[in-house]
């Protein structure tokens, strides 16, 4: 079966879990007043260990679900992989997970949190325990290892790096907010997979509930999640004022979503592109707002905003350029109006051309585009 989830199932977690956790990294950078120079090293180490934890979790899930996924017709990254390839994938994931901790600050509490995270990953997937099939315990376990524990571990690590206390009230709010978010996300995931899970006898929590109960659970989780995140950022803004805009974004987008779906409620929302709301706040808006605020303390953080958008939300650039072009934004050269798209195309094409020239390839002489040249080389092999 052709797999569309990408290497290490990166398509499942890069623009969601990784993007949100990097937003949390920016949050702790502002919270603990980390300098830009210190932030750079901490951010690089953080994104590496985040990738390790995420890929390890998905590898474990796919490894123990190979037989069931094959029967159900689900995509599984490890199907048809040899034992050697699987071993190397787990080894690479472990390196990403553990190697940053030779540089990241840690103590016995950090080690305990890492142990708890790995333990939860194992009991969620590993037979005969396999909590993912054990109803409500599977829901809480997924929410803990996918959201709550990684966020608390990140916060505690940054507090050690800054030599600052990690206020317990804020820790508790952060933990509960992430738990509610994790519960909502795993309920939606189980609902999406309910037909295929029923084919192979998986007893997930959603399969044990009817549709009305599922809607009630999503509404409850949404209310708790948004309330806790709002309280967290409002309380945090008393310590660090730049978090107040994040609270305003949560209020505004939640209000707009409520208005949009007020008539048909949760059922209409779950059938729309907003089914995963408020993930868009935490994955896209929260990181951007925090980085913009940090930019007023050090302008280099605006460069990080551009890099973050390119890594996790490149579509924003494409949509912005399309919007500017649609509304007729023009650049002028020697009295002539030139469409913005033409200018961008010129710059990008020449950038690609000169990159290839560095490696001794003249695309003009070859009379090929970059993509055509790459495809030809692959076919030659």
Peptide bond into 128 cis (omega under 30): yes
pLDDT tens digits, one per residue of 37-57 = 999 999 899 888 988 888 888
In a domain, 312, yes or no: no
- Name which residue leads in pLDDT, 163 or 319: 163
pLDDT tens digits, one per residue of 252-301 = 888 888 888 876 778 888 888 888 888 888 888 899 999 999 998 898 99
- 240, 255, 274 - which closes a domain: 240
In a domain, 254, yes or no: no
Mean pLDDT within 122-131: 83
Reported confidence tier of residue 313, pLDDT bands at 50, 70, 90: confident
- 240, 264, 298 - which closes a domain: 240
Q: Residues 275, 188: contact at Cβ < 8 Å?
A: yes
Total-model pTM? 0.78
pLDDT tens digits, one per residue of 140-150 = 999 999 899 99
Same domain, 223 and 330: no
- What CA–CA distance (Å, rounded) separates 371 from 31? 44
| Token output for 165 | 């206390």
Same domain, 343 and 218: no
- Name which residue leads in pLDDT, 335 or 271: 271
Residue 1 predicted with pLDDT over 50: no
pLDDT tens digits, one per residue of 203-228 = 777 887 888 888 889 999 999 999 99
Same domain, 35 and 178: yes
- 221, 240, 259 - which closes a domain: 240
Q: How far is CA 86 from the centre of its chain?
A: 24
Q: Please report the pLDDT score of residue 9 as a whole number.
A: 54
Residue 331 φ/ψ, nearest 5 degrees? -105, 150
Range of 11-20, 90-99, 203-212 with top mean pLDDT:
90-99
Residue 12 predicted with pLDDT over 60: no
pLDDT tens digits, one per residue of 348-370 = 676 677 666 766 778 788 787 77
Same domain, 97 and 201: yes
Q: Which domain holds residue 87?
A: 7-240
Structural domain total, the chain: 2
Q: Residues 222, 184: contact at Cβ < 8 Å?
A: yes
- DSSP helix/strand/coil, 335: coil
- Name which residue leads in pLDDT, 317 or 165: 165
pLDDT tens digits, one per residue of 56-70 = 888 888 888 787 777
- Mean confidence (pLDDT) of the chain: 82
Reported confidence tier of residue 2, pLDDT bands at 50, 70, 90: very low
CATH of the domain at 185: 1.10.600
- DSSP helix/strand/coil, 361: coil
- What CA–CA distance (Å, rounded) separates 166 from 152? 10
- What CA–CA distance (Å, rounded) separates 375 from 381? 10
Same domain, 17 and 139: yes
| Token output for 91 | 């080894």
Residue 263 forms beta bridges with which residues?
Answer: none
Same domain, 236 and 331: no
């Amino acid at each position: 079966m052709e797999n569309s989830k990408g290497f290490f199932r990166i398509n499942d977690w890069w623009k969601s879990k990784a993007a949100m956790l990097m937003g949390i990294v920016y949050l702790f950078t502002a919270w603990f007043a980390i300098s830009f120079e210190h932030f750079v090293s901490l951010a690089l180490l953080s994104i590496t260990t985040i990738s390790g934890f995420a890929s390890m979790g998905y590898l474990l899930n796919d490894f123990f679900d190979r037989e069931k996924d094959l029967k159900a017709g689900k995509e599984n990254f490890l199907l048809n992989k040899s034992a050697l390839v699987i071993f190397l994938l787990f080894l690479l994931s472990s390196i990403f997970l553990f190697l940053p901790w030779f540089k990241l600050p840690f103590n016995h509490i950090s080690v305990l949190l890492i142990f708890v995270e790995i333990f939860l990953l194992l009991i969620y997937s590993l037979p005969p325990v396999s909590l993912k099939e054990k109803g409500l315990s599977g829901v809480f376990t997924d929410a803990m290892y996918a959201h709550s524990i990684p966020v608390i571990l990140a916060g505690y690590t940054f507090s050690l790096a800054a030599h600052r206390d990690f206020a317990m009230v804020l820790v508790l709010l952060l933990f509960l907010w992430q738990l509610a978010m994790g519960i909502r996300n795993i309920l939606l995931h189980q609902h999406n997979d309910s037909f295929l899970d029923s084919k192979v006898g998986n007893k997930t929590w959603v399969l044990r509930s009817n549709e009305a109960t599922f809607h009630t659970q999503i509404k409850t989780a949404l209310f708790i999640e948004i309330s806790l995140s709002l309280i967290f950022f409002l309380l945090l803004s008393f310590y660090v004022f730049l978090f107040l805009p994040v609270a305003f974004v949560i209020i505004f987008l939640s209000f707009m979503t409520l208005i949009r779906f007020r008539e048909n409620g949760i059922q209409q929302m779950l059938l729309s592109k907003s089914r995963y709301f408020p993930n868009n706040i935490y994955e896209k808006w929260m990181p951007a707002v925090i980085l913009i605020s940090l930019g007023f303390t050090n302008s280099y953080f605006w460069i990080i905003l551009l890099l973050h958008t390119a890594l996790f939300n490149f579509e924003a650039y494409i949509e912005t350029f399309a919007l500017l072009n649609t509304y007729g934004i023009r650049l002028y050269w020697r009295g002539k109006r030139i469409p913005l798209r033409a200018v961008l195309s010129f710059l990008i094409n020449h950038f690609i051309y000169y990159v290839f020239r560095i490696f001794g390839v003249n695309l003009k002489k070859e009379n090929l585009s970059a993509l055509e040249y790459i495809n030809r080389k692959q076919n030659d092999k």
